[in-house]
Every structure is written in structure tokens, then in C-alpha cells.
């Protein structure tokens, strides 16, 4: 037996325990979503009745639809704004206040969600109240989610732009292309995997948020996490297990699709670069 084998086995055991700690609760949740009993800790038989009850619950479906719309719109806006912020941080020449700009953009990463939610609520009240508009609703949730998800997208895209060889962009500009054309023809295809990763991250964070949404949501805009949280406070409901299982399926499917598309784009980019090198 080689000297490295005990260490390898120890590492595998630790890795296995780590995976079990992370994913075993999710697996149990999915299994008990098919449990016939209302008790979450007792298995009495296989049944789909809780999924049927879930789709008959109009309030739960309405909350799910609100969350999906807000998450989609928030992720899309966060990618656009986060990419612009990343371009400013990595491609613009140093200017006065650039460090402060970067700090303000990434501040939501370290800011407690309670502070973010309270400050946004005060801002919405100050801005909307003089016009007789409600400071709480879908629009306020969307703005709040864009505010904190944009920071994550900015970090993801900035790290990809920092790795990008600037000589490619400079060569295109030397050939007569303007900055806009260089971005859409050269930069955008290369950073597309990072944009997709940032979009999926922003979508998941928005879909999962409870604290900030609780501050800025109105009675006509209850998100799914808020609905689940309020239901769990009244006791365990097997419908929540079914709903959580469906959310796991949706997020996992989106992540796999994003990984597959990013993988294909990266392989295609590497193949194009190899062909360019071979052709001189």
C-alpha cells in the first residue's frame, strides 16, 4: 500500500461527509414529498396527493408566479447593469472616484439583508409617498432584488473580463472597429458563459430571497419564499415539501442547461482559437 492511499481515503471520507451534509436534507425532502402521511417524520406509503393539493392551491400558485416573474426580470436587469459596471471597473481608465464606485457596487455583498431591506423601504416611502403611490409592490421588490443581485453579477463578469486578453480588443480597434462593435463581436461572445452564470446566480438569489422581500412587498405581491415561511410558522405542511421539490427540479434543470451551454461556448471558442493559430 502506498503512502498516499490513507490520505486519499481520508480525503474521500471527508468529501463524502460534506456532500451528505449538503445534499442529504434535500434528498429527504424530495422523498417525503411523496409521503402519504401528513406527518413529516413518518413514512406511511407512496402518494402524489400533495402535488395534487399543491396545484389546487391558488394562493401558492399565485405566489410562485410572482416569484418567477420577479426573479426573471431581476436577473435580466442585473446582468445588464452588472456588465456595464464590470466594464467600467475593468476597461475604463482610472478616474477620480473609481475605487469608491467599485466599493458602492459591491457593498450589498457584505451588507446585512436587514439593513438593505430597511434602507430600501425608507427610500421607496420617500420617493413614492409624495405622488400618492404605494411604496410596496412588485416594482419595489424588483428594484430591491436588482440592487443586491447586481453586485454578484458584477463580481462574476469582472473576474472574467480581468482574465480576457486586451490585445484581442486592441487588435480589432486597430483594424477600424469602434468600441461598440468590439464589445458585441469580440468581448460579448467570450464573456457569454460568465453572463449566463451571473444570470443563473441572480435568478436563484432573487427566487430565494425572504428578508429583503419582507420589507418591500405589499399585500398584492407576496413572493413564494414569503408564502413558504409564513406556512412553516404555522406547522409543517406536506405541500411545502412538494413545492420545494419542484423548486429544486427547476433550479437544477436551469443550472444544468446553463452549464451545458457554457461548456459548448467554451469548447467552440477554444476550437476557433486553435484554428486561428493553425492558419497563422
112, 20: one domain = no
Cα–Cα dist 63/267, whole Å = 39
According to the model, what pLDDT value does residue 76 have?
96
Per the structure, the complete domain to which residue 113 belongs is given by 58-278
In a domain, residue 210? The reply is yes
Give the total number of structural domains in the chain. Answer: 2
Same domain, 186 and 63: yes
Same domain, 14 and 149: no
3-class secondary-structure state, position 218 = coil
For residue 71, tell me if it sits in a domain.
Answer: yes
- Of 74-88, 131-145, 257-271, minimum mean pLDDT range: 257-271
DSSP string, 194-237: HHHHHHHHHHHHHHH--HHHHHH--TT---HHHHHHHHHHT---
How many whole angstroms separate alpha carbon 151 and alpha carbon 111?
Answer: 11
The answer as to whether 53 is a domain residue is no
* Count of CB atoms situated within 10 Å of the CB of 70: 26
On whether both 173 and 39 belong to a single domain, the answer is: no
In a domain, 214, yes or no: yes
List for the chain the helix, strand, coil content (%; round to 5): 80, 0, 20
Q: Please state, in angstroms and rounded to a whole number, the distance separating the CA atoms of residues 12 and 8.
A: 6
Same domain, 246 and 144: yes
Are residues 78 and 138 located together in one domain of the fold? Answer: yes
Q: What is the pLDDT of residue 179?
A: 83
Question: pLDDT of 3-30, one tens digit each?
Answer: 555 557 888 888 889 988 988 988 888 8
**Judgement on whether residues 21 and 151 belong to the same structural domain of the protein:** no
| Inside any domain, residue 1 | no
182 and 134: one domain? yes
Same domain, yes or no: 144 and 23 = no
Query: Which DSSP helix (H) or strand (E) runs through 86?
Result: helix 58-91
* CATH number reported for the structural domain that contains residue 268 in this entry: 1.10.3720.10
pLDDT at 1: 47
Q: Is residue 120 part of a domain?
A: yes
- The answer as to whether 2 is a domain residue is no
Q: Is residue 52 part of a domain?
A: no
238 and 110 in a single domain? The answer is yes
Residue pLDDT, tens place only, 151-163: 999 999 999 888 8
| Same domain, yes or no: 203 and 97 | yes
Alpha-carbon Rg for the chain in angstroms: 23
Structure confidence at residue 93 (pLDDT)? 80
Amino acid at each position: 500500500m502506498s503512502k498516499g492511499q490513507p490520505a486519499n481515503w481520508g480525503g474521500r471520507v471527508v468529501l463524502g461527509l460534506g456532500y451528505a451534509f449538503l445534499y442529504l436534507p434535500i434528498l429527504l425532502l424530495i422523498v417525503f414529498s411523496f409521503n402519504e402521511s401528513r406527518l413529516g417524520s413518518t413514512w406511511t406509503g407512496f402518494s402524489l396527493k400533495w402535488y395534487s393539493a399543491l396545484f389546487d392551491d391558488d394562493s401558492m400558485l399565485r405566489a410562485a408566479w410572482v416569484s418567477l416573474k420577479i426573479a426573471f426580470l431581476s436577473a435580466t436587469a442585473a446582468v445588464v447593469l452588472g456588465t456595464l459596471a464590470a466594464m467600467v471597473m475593468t476597461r475604463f481608465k482610472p478616474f477620480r472616484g473609481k475605487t469608491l464606485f467599485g466599493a458602492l457596487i459591491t457593498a450589498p455583498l457584505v451588507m446585512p439583508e436587514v439593513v438593505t431591506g430597511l434602507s430600501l423601504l425608507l427610500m421607496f416611502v420617500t420617493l413614492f409617498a409624495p405622488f400618492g403611490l404605494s411604496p410596496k409592490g412588485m416594482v419595489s421588490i424588483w428594484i430591491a432584488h436588482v440592487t443586491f443581485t447586481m453586485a454578484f453579477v458584477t463580481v462574476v463578469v469582472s473576474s472574467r473580463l480581468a482574465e480576457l486578453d486586451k490585445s484581442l480588443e486592441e487588435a480589432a480597434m486597430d483594424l477600424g472597429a469602434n468600441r461598440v462593435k468590439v464589445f458585441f463581436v469580440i468581448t460579448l461572445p467570450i464573456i457569454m458563459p460568465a453572463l449566463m452564470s451571473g444570470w443563473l446566480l441572480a435568478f436563484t438569489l432573487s427566487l430565494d430571497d425572504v428578508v429583503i422581500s419582507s420589507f418591500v412587498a405589499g399585500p398584492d405581491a407576496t413572493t413564494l419564499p414569503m408564502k413558504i415561511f409564513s406556512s412553516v410558522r404555522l406547522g409543517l405542511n406536506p405541500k411545502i415539501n412538494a413545492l420545494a421539490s419542484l423548486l429544486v427540479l427547476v433550479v437544477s434543470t436551469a443550472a444544468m442547461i446553463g452549464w451545458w451551454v457554457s461548456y459548448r461556448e467554451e469548447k467552440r471558442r477554444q476550437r476557433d482559437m486553435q484554428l486561428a493559430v493553425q492558419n497563422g
